């Protein structure tokens, strides 16, 4: 047997040998087939090396011989045909031609197989070999990856003398130890110390005792690269083809860490630092179903999806003083600086570590003259920390997290500077203003969602003094917004960057009777702002100079005097849509010049707080476009006196009235029932109101009716049954109401009924209550819930919610 046959195996080797030897033998005998047989012989000789290679790979890779069975059969058939050629007589022309053609076809078939099929098989076999090599290489890489291990010491150890974070660290550890949630969100203003706090957490001895070496620190940032992040965890010792592979291998590695040979779980802590709204999906990528695996996330945004949240507050005054003095090296100063002067600077920084550090460092080691100059600037009225150090401005601007310069959230944030410092801003005032000037094509609900987004980003805080109001009712009359002083300064500073004539919002703060110089000039500047805010103190005499602001759409007037005169230039603000007038003094102020509002054709919303409103009855002011009036802590007895004049004709578009904490309201005037367009009537915390007019049933378009905390109100008139469009009825805390109207069941569209703490309402509910087929929610206390037990058996879908006792003192700040 030849070498080829020994290498190739019996089937193929035998066929090849028989044909090869047959051709050599016949070439010398069959002269007439010499040409085609020589071609066939040459083909077989060239084939020998290829056959050796494919056969060798078949043996090495243990592949079946069927890969070349077709060629073997072809050669065996060819050997028989060649043998026949040696027996054909030279005179047999037809047989000669036939077999010559067949030999040529055999040669062509063998060549084609070698050039196409056999080469493809060799290529395929080679690829299989490479695949095997890659599998081995990948396996070795994984072994190396596990051998390298994740890097746990990628974060520097913070200093031991960090100010103001000892208590937050203790509270954060308590939150982390809770088993309920896998993800703990640490949120707070930019520059308040979140990253420092999680670094302290990483190096804390108690935490290291729990997690050992399985604490991993990742800086996520605004636009994270997952592959790079995971590579950093491996100290760049491994590369991943894509994000998915990186996360998958990280999960496998963490799973191996979590379980050991003794089947005891090893706790793992992953810290994801500086997660922005744009990168919040990264949190989900790192969330694995691994026992005792916890994730701590730091972000300026309070992502609502995470239930476990710790909010890092600014430093208190004592810690703020300590941090500033350290940053400024106050103890090393060779000249005297009084504690009172230093406290003035510290208060201006609002407890923000970034501001305290930057301002302190800017004064550290500076001559006494620099300190004196800085202290003098800080003592000037209206001074902002951003006028002292631009670095603070740059740092805090980053905390805004707005996607672009024209973001609607940025507009809202800057509008917050229109209200006085250290005062709570009524949420409804903001909703009124923003709906009309920024998003006139949207409803209040849309703007309210944006308000929540501002609070989510820690740029403001929303406080609700009433906790039991459902989301359906969208009740924000008892909600207030607060803002950190430094953020307010930032909003005002950003609003003041453009020239006076080009500002979108114009904020004027008048102390005493000292008007700004530009306002005193004989030639008036043209103010093109859409929002104008004017604040005055208790010394202001209401002596206004003229101002030209024809494009103003929202006017905010804040004052503290006993008598307040609306400025004459108001009547020229022909584009005005919203006016918010607030008295921050102790007693209600007399408001005059109210008739100026009649010249404003587009005025839609009016909000008055703590003012005495002149009579609307004897000489009603025509306000054709006004659709909402809100009165808070106002004296309205004179304004709401009885009148023979048709007051409703002056307000033909009115859809909503809110009256809150108006203590001189004793009885609703009958003319109020003539506003047939009215859709929402809310009279709350009016403790002297004892009676409602029977004509209230005329308000047939009413959808929301509230008499919350009207403690002297003894009953609802029976005419209420005519309010067939009414969806929400709220009589919570009406202590004197003893019964519901007999025919309340005729309120066929009623969806919500709030009756918490109606303490004298103890009798059985009227039988018509079963006709409230659309009723979905009843909010009450435990005693009133018992009255609804028989009804719940009839209405299986009815939700009777027992409101929790709300022991809150927030109402004291009103």
Q: Which tens digit of pLDDT belongs to each residue from 742-772?
A: 999 999 999 999 999 999 998 889 999 999 9
Predicted local distance difference test score (pLDDT) of residue 149: 54
* Nearest of 624, 488, 510, 622 to residue 564 by alpha carbon: 510
638-662: pLDDT as tens digits? 666 655 557 778 889 999 999 999 9
Q: Which residues contact 543 (CB under 8 A, 6 or more apart)?
A: 513
Residue 211 or 613, more confident: 211
DSSP structural state of residue 212: T
Residue 70 or 634, more confident: 634
Instruction: Give residue for tokens 């849509």.
Output: 577
Residue 82 or 577, more confident: 577
Taking residue 642's Cβ as centre, other Cβ atoms within 10 Å add up to 9
202-238: pLDDT as tens digits? 888 898 888 888 888 888 877 788 888 887 777 655 6
Distance in angstroms (rounded) separating the CA atoms of residues 23 and 780: 107
459-500: pLDDT as tens digits? 788 887 766 655 445 678 888 998 777 778 788 888 888 888
Predicted local distance difference test score (pLDDT) of residue 104: 72
* Nearest of 383, 386, 314 to residue 350 by alpha carbon: 314
104-136: pLDDT as tens digits? 777 777 766 666 666 666 666 666 666 665 655
Distance in angstroms (rounded) separating the CA atoms of residues 1 and 607: 110
Residue 568 or 1, more confident: 568
Distance in angstroms (rounded) separating the CA atoms of residues 386 and 207: 39
Q: Which residues contact 58 (CB under 8 A, 6 or more apart)?
A: 9, 64, 65, 67, 68, 125
Tokens of 90: 């030279």
Map residue 333 onto helix, strand or coil.
Answer: coil
Distance in angstroms (rounded) separating the CA atoms of residues 246 and 53: 40
543-579: pLDDT as tens digits? 888 888 899 999 999 998 888 889 989 988 999 999 9
Distance in angstroms (rounded) separating the CA atoms of residues 310 and 173: 10
For residue 1, pLDDT beyond 60: no
Distance in angstroms (rounded) separating the CA atoms of residues 198 and 156: 11
Predicted local distance difference test score (pLDDT) of residue 47: 65
Contact 385, 487 (CB under 8 A): no
Predicted local distance difference test score (pLDDT) of residue 689: 93
For residue 452, pLDDT beyond 80: yes
Q: Long-range contacts of range 343-350, CB-CB < 8 Å, 24 or more positions apart?
A: 343/317, 344/375, 344/378, 344/379, 345/374, 345/375, 345/378, 346/317, 346/320, 346/321, 347/317, 348/378, 348/383, 348/384, 348/385, 349/320, 349/324, 349/385, 349/486, 350/314, 350/484, 350/485, 350/486
> Residue 20, exposed/middle/buried by CB under 10 A (0-12, 13-18, 19+)?
buried
Report the percent of the chain where pLDDT is more than 70. 72
Map residue 377 onto helix, strand or coil.
Answer: helix
Strand partners, 635: 612
What is the average pLDDT score of the chain? Answer: 79
How many angstroms separate the Cα of 179 from the Cα of each of 115, 187, 291? 68, 20, 11
Among the listed ranges 15-24, 75-84, 274-283, which one has the minimum average pLDDT value?
15-24
For the residues 450-467, what does the mean pLDDT come to?
Answer: 78
Relative to beta strand 479-482, strand 425-426 is: antiparallel
Map residue 386 onto helix, strand or coil.
Answer: helix
H/E run at residue 184:
strand 183-187
How would you write 644-659 as a 3-class SS string?
Answer: CCCHHHHCCCCCEEEE
Predicted local distance difference test score (pLDDT) of residue 146: 45
Map residue 357 onto helix, strand or coil.
Answer: helix
- Torsion over CA: 325, 326, 331, 336 (sign): negative
Contact 759, 736 (CB under 8 A): no
Among the listed ranges 23-27, 173-177, 407-411, which one has the minimum average pLDDT value?
23-27
How would you write 578-604 as a 3-class SS string?
Answer: EEEEEECCCCCEEEECHHHHHHCCCCC
Contact 667, 643 (CB under 8 A): no
Residue 56 or 197, more confident: 197
Map residue 136 onto helix, strand or coil.
Answer: helix
Distance in angstroms (rounded) separating the CA atoms of residues 397 and 491: 10
Predicted local distance difference test score (pLDDT) of residue 810: 46
Contact 300, 306 (CB under 8 A): no
Distance in angstroms (rounded) separating the CA atoms of residues 44 and 157: 76
Map residue 29 onto helix, strand or coil.
Answer: helix
For residue 53, pLDDT beyond 80: no
* Nearest of 325, 354, 353, 352 to residue 341 by alpha carbon: 325
For the residues 693-702, what does the mean pLDDT come to?
Answer: 94
Predicted local distance difference test score (pLDDT) of residue 9: 43
Map residue 28 onto helix, strand or coil.
Answer: helix
Predicted local distance difference test score (pLDDT) of residue 703: 95
Predicted local distance difference test score (pLDDT) of residue 393: 64
Q: What is the dihedral of CA 534, 535, 538, 544, to 10 degrees?
A: -10
For the residues 16-28, what does the mean pLDDT come to?
Answer: 64
298-307: pLDDT as tens digits? 988 888 888 8
Q: Which residues contact 281 (CB under 8 A, 6 or more apart)?
A: none
Tokens of 464: 């609700």
Assign 6 a pLDDT band (cuts: 50, 70, 90): very low
Predicted local distance difference test score (pLDDT) of residue 34: 64
pTM, 2 dp: 0.65
Tokens of 739: 């019964």
Q: How far is CA 536 from the centre of its chain?
A: 37
Inter-axis angle of helices 34-60 and 119-148, to 10 degrees? 20
Contact 323, 163 (CB under 8 A): yes
* Nearest of 327, 342, 329 to residue 372 by alpha carbon: 342
For the residues 375-395, what does the mean pLDDT come to?
Answer: 58
Tokens of 127: 């690829």
Predicted local distance difference test score (pLDDT) of residue 240: 81
How many angstroms separate the Cα of 89 from the Cα of each of 21, 31, 216? 22, 11, 91
Predicted local distance difference test score (pLDDT) of residue 79: 72
Map residue 721 onto helix, strand or coil.
Answer: helix
Q: Which residues contact 474 (CB under 8 A, 6 or more apart)?
A: 444, 445, 448
Map residue 359 onto helix, strand or coil.
Answer: helix
For the residues 299-324, what does the mean pLDDT come to?
Answer: 86
Distance in angstroms (rounded) separating the CA atoms of residues 570 and 552: 10
For the residues 601-620, what does the mean pLDDT come to?
Answer: 80
For the residues 395-422, what does the mean pLDDT come to?
Answer: 74
Residue 184 or 524, more confident: 184
Contact 268, 293 (CB under 8 A): yes
């Amino acid at each position: 047997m030849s070498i080829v046959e020994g290498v190739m195996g019996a089937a193929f080797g035998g066929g090849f040998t028989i044909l090869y030897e047959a051709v050599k033998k016949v070439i010398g005998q069959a002269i007439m087939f010499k040409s085609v047989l020589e071609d066939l012989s040459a083909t077989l000789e060239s084939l020998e090396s290829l056959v050796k290679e494919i056969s060798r790979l078949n043996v090495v890779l243990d592949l079946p011989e069927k890969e070349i069975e077709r060629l073997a059969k072809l050669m065996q058939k060819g050997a028989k045909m060649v043998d026949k050629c040696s027996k054909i007589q030279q005179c047999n022309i037809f047989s000669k031609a036939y077999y010559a053609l067949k030999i040529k076809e055999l040669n062509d078939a063998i060549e084609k197989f070698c050039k196409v099929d056999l080469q493809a098989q060799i290529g395929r076999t080679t690829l299989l070999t490479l695949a095997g090599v890659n599998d081995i290489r990948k396996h070795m890489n994984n072994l190396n990856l596990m051998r390298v291990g994740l890097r746990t010491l990628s974060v520097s150890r913070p200093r031991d003398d960090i100010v103001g974070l000892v208590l937050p660290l203790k509270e954060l550890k308590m939150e982390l130890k809770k088993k309920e949630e896998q993800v703990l969100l640490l949120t707070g203003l930019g520059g308040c110390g979140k990253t420092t706090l999680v670094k302290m957490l990483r190096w804390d001895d108690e935490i290291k005792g729990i997690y050992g070496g399985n604490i991993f620190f990742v800086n996520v940032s605004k636009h994270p690269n997952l592959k790079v992040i995971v590579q950093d965890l491996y100290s760049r010792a491994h590369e991943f083809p894509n994000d998915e592979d990186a996360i998958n291998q990280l999960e496998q590695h963490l799973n191996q860490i979590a379980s050991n040979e003794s089947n005891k779980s090893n706790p793992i802590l992953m810290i994801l630092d500086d997660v922005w709204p744009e990168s919040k999906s990264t949190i989900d990528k790192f969330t694995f179903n691994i026992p005792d695996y916890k994730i701590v996330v730091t972000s300026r945004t309070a992502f609502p999806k995470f239930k476990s949240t710790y909010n890092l507050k600014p430093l208190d005054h004592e810690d703020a003083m300590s941090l500033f003095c350290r940053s400024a090296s106050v103890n090393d100063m060779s000249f005297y600086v009084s504690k009172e002067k230093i406290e003035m600077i510290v208060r201006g920084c609002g407890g923000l570590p970034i501001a305290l550090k930057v301002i302190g460092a800017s004064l550290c080691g500076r001559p006494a003259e620099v300190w004196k100059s800085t202290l003098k600037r800080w003592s000037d009225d209206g001074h902002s920390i951003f006028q002292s150090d631009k670095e603070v401005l740059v740092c805090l601007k980053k905390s805004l997290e707005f996607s672009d310069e024209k973001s609607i959230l940025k507009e809202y944030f800057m509008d917050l500077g229109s209200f006085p410092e250290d005062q709570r801003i009524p949420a409804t005032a903001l909703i009124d203003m923003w709906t009309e000037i920024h998003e006139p094509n949207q409803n209040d609900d849309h703007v309210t969602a944006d308000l929540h987004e501002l609070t989510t980003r820690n740029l403001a805080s929303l406080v609700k003094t009433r906790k039991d109001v459902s989301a359906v009712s969208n009740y924000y009359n008892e909600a207030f917004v607060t803002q950190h002083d430094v953020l307010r300064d930032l909003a005002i500073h950003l609003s003041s960057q453009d020239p006076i004539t080009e500002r979108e919002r114009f904020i004027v703060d008048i102390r005493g009777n000292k008007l700004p110089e530009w306002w005193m000039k004989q030639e008036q500047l043209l103010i093109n702002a859409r929002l104008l805010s004017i604040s005055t103190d208790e010394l202001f005499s209401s002596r206004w100079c003229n101002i030209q602001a024809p494009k103003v759409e929202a006017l905010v007037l804040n004052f503290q005097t006993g008598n307040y005169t609306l400025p004459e230039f108001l009547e020229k603000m022909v584009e005005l849509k919203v006016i918010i007038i607030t008295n921050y003094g102790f007693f209600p102020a007399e408001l005059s010049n109210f008739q100026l509002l009649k010249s404003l054709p587009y005025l839609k919303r009016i909000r008055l707080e703590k003012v005495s409103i002149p009579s609307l009855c004897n000489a009603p002011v025509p306000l054709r476009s006004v659709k909402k009036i809100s009165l808070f802590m106002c004296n309205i007895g004179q304004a709401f006196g009885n009148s023979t004049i048709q007051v409703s004709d002056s307000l033909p578009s009115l859809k909503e009235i809110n009256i809150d904490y108006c203590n001189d309201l004793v009885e609703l005037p009958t003319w109020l029932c003539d506003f047939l367009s009215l859709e929402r009537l809310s009279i709350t915390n009016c403790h002297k109101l004892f009676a409602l007019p029977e004509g209230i049933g005329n308000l047939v378009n009413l959808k929301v009716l509230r008499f919350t905390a009207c403690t002297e109100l003894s009953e609802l008139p029976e005419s209420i049954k005519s309010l067939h469009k009414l969806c929400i009825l709220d009589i919570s805390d009406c202590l004197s109401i003893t019964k519901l109207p007999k025919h309340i069941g005729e309120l066929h569209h009623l969806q919500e009924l709030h009756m918490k703490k109606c303490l004298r309402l103890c009798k059985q509910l009227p039988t018509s209550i079963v006709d409230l087929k659309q009723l979905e929610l009843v909010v009450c206390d435990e005693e009133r819930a018992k009255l609804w037990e028989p009804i719940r058996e009839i209405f299986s879908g009815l939700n009777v919610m027992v409101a929790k006792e709300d022991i809150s003192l927030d109402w004291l700040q009103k």
